[in-house]
Amino acid sequence: MAKRDGCPICGKPTQDEFKPFCGRGCKDRDLLQWLGEGYRVPGERVDPNAQSGLDTGRDAD
């Protein structure tokens, strides 16, 4: 894996306290991307009401 030389958000030099980011702003921006589902893997849309056929771990009635 290649080593990055800067903040993955803005490219500025990193600070040890916020590694791999340059500061709190970029660290928080990255967290908001995760929380807001900004980082997603493309795939087929799934109907949440459809039965998936997978065991949910609940006992059947």
4 labeled binding residue: no
10 labeled binding residue: yes
26 labeled binding residue: yes
Instruction: Give backbone dihedrals phi and psi of 32, rounded to 5 degrees, phi first.
Output: -65, -35
Residues in contact with 21: Cβ distance below 8 Å, sequence separation at least 6, in sequence order: 7, 8, 9, 14, 15, 27, 30
22 labeled binding residue: yes
Which residues line the annotated binding site for Zn(2+)?
Answer: 7, 10, 22, 26
Which residues line the annotated binding site?
Answer: 7, 10, 22, 26
